[in-house]
Structure 1
């Protein structure tokens, strides 16, 4: 094939896709002042004990299990739940550690996850804002934490939403997962 016979049309790359957003995700709005580190733990909720013979409990339990499983433990619509389930949202109860408030514990767990990610990935992530955390009892407590952070080593250090799965047992934190929050 001669040089003249080749296709010389210029390749034009398609426009970048916009990230999908969840219109119901109020908590995924980045803070207006990303320099301010924020952790606000919600007030304690009074939840009822359930019974499988109660059709409303059975319905909510199925919804909870579906949301918890599909999100990997991170995203549950707790505002629509009235019952205690095997997992719960971290609220103002101070029962996850004898020495630390839940606010202090969340900050410690987030910073541990960020420090480990920075070391492993060579990033310079800095915590910006706490979004939410779910917890299940395990050998200790297993937390599924969603938060905002920004990478100071990136050319554009815009805050991004991250998730970390962290086990807290006898004063030690073990990070099992660290990821960008998937879009829906």
Structure 2
């Protein structure tokens, strides 16, 4: 049988549909972190554990360094590059375009106030949160062209936007791990979490000697509404919206 006759015969045969093993059917995975994260479930201990870890990461990195792969729940912060809703824009810009515009504003403000000549190279990551205003935490690679030999460095900028007015409370070279360890941030104890009128609140406090705190945090929690709440702690200039 020559090749042409063989191919014609193969094409004329009906295609057999393989039987599907129901156990082998796997649900498609969400295409983004935002789509994967689950919502408000404070009645579950695992939610509270992850809430505390998120709380600590937010404070320790000032909002810039959230390890999204460690979380299964949404905690009022989004990654605009990973499937989050579109950032508000009067000109229907993409999230990437909005973040780039805000970064350029932060750089221009810093250059004007400090006499530098920082130039954006590329973005690395970003987080944002929408409350009464928009808050953005942006990490990017840039060059300071005012230096004799400019070297690319990672910078971080926090941008607040409200009714067309912008504030830039943070603009810095990203601190190294050694620098962060040398000047650790005091993480505030979360306020008691009230989530059900018929149940006592979840109360948080710092673990004492011999207690087993939530992994990655210095805190323990109870669901009976009892225990001591650490209210006499140092203040933090960074705002935080509690769940």
Same fold (TM over 0.5): yes
Is the counterpart of residue 128 in structure 1 residue 121 in structure 2?
yes
Q: Which residue of 2 is the match for residue 85 of structure 1? A: 75
Secondary structure of the corresponding residue to residue 156 of structure 2: strand
Q: Residue deviations 1:69-122, cap 9 Å, x none? A: 111111110122111102222234314334321111101110000001111111
- Superposition map of 1:1-184 within 5 A: 43=32, 45-46=34-35, 47-91=37-81, 92=83, 93-99=85-91, 100-184=93-177
122-131 or 96-105: bigger deviation: 96-105
Cα pair 1:143 1:166 within 8 Å, conserved: yes
Cα pair 1:73 1:144 within 8 Å, conserved: yes
Query: Is the strand fraction higher in 1 or 2?
Result: 1
Secondary structure of the corresponding residue to residue 105 of structure 1: helix
CA distance in 1, matches of 2:117, 2:32: 32
Quote how far apart the aligned CAs of 1:57 are: 1.2
Cα pair 2:135 2:160 within 8 Å, conserved: yes
Q: How many residues align?
A: 143
Secondary structure of the corresponding residue to residue 82 of structure 1: coil
CA distance in 2, matches of 1:175, 1:165: 6
TM (normalized to structure 2)? 0.55
Cα pair 2:159 2:166 within 8 Å, conserved: yes
Query: RMSD value over aligned CA atoms?
Result: 1.8
Cα pair 2:120 2:142 within 8 Å, conserved: yes
Greater relative CO (CA pairs within 8 A, separation 6+): 1
CA distance in 1, matches of 2:111, 2:98: 20
CA distance in 2, matches of 1:118, 1:97: 25
Gaps of 5+ in 2: 1-30, 178-243
